[in-house]
Amino acid sequence: MDDLNSIYTDVIMEQSTATYNKHKLDGATNKEHGHNPSCGDDITLEIIMDGDVIKNIAFTGHGCAISQASTSIMIDLLKGKTKEKALRLINIFLKMVKRQKITDEEIEDLEEANALQNISNMPARVKCAELAWYTMQRLLEK
């Protein structure tokens, strides 16, 4: 149960049901669809870029608590960042959930997203946490 409680934390549960980032984005400049065929999780990310800066992000779709929370937390983190900074943070996050080495400083840079660190103890759920981040990576690299 310890593993479970370290994953289904208040932050995750709250973000999984939060709706402030979950909507269509008027005037979106770009969008990307992410899908997890084995479990059916399905999200669409929309962004508004202002030059090199991510002015706004929103998502629509459905999925488990982990994937929904991870998406919402990611949006909070990346909003207002430059493309370059965002890609760096995505990279740190993906390393973290795969238990690859990252520094304490890098973990701090993830802000609330570091709440998903313990997902690495639950290999079956890592892909739920990753979905939004990989989708965002593809979107930014388009």
Chain residues in the site for another protein (CB under 8 A): 1, 3-4, 7-8, 13-14, 16-17, 38-42, 62-66, 122, 124-125, 128
Rounded to a whole number of angstroms, the minimum distance from the CB of residue 65 to another protein is 5
Rounded to a whole number of angstroms, the minimum distance from the CB of residue 102 to another protein is 24
> How many of the other CB atoms lie within 10 Å of CB of 36?
17
Order of strands across the sheet that contains 41-50: 30-36, 41-50, 53-62
- The residue (of 53 and 122) whose beta carbon lies closer to another protein is 122
The three-state secondary structure class of 22 is strand
Pairwise CA distance, residues 58 & 129, whole Å: 17
- The residue (of 59 and 78) whose beta carbon lies closer to another protein is 59
140 Cα distance to chain centroid: 13
- The residue (of 77 and 128) whose beta carbon lies closer to another protein is 128
- The residue (of 78 and 116) whose beta carbon lies closer to another protein is 116
- The residue (of 35 and 83) whose beta carbon lies closer to another protein is 35
14 Cα distance to chain centroid: 15
Rounded to a whole number of angstroms, the minimum distance from the CB of residue 134 to another protein is 17
Rounded to a whole number of angstroms, the minimum distance from the CB of residue 9 to another protein is 11
Does an H or E element contain 16, and which?
Answer: helix 10-17
Rounded to a whole number of angstroms, the minimum distance from the CB of residue 141 to another protein is 28
Cβ pair 135, 94 in contact under 8 A: no
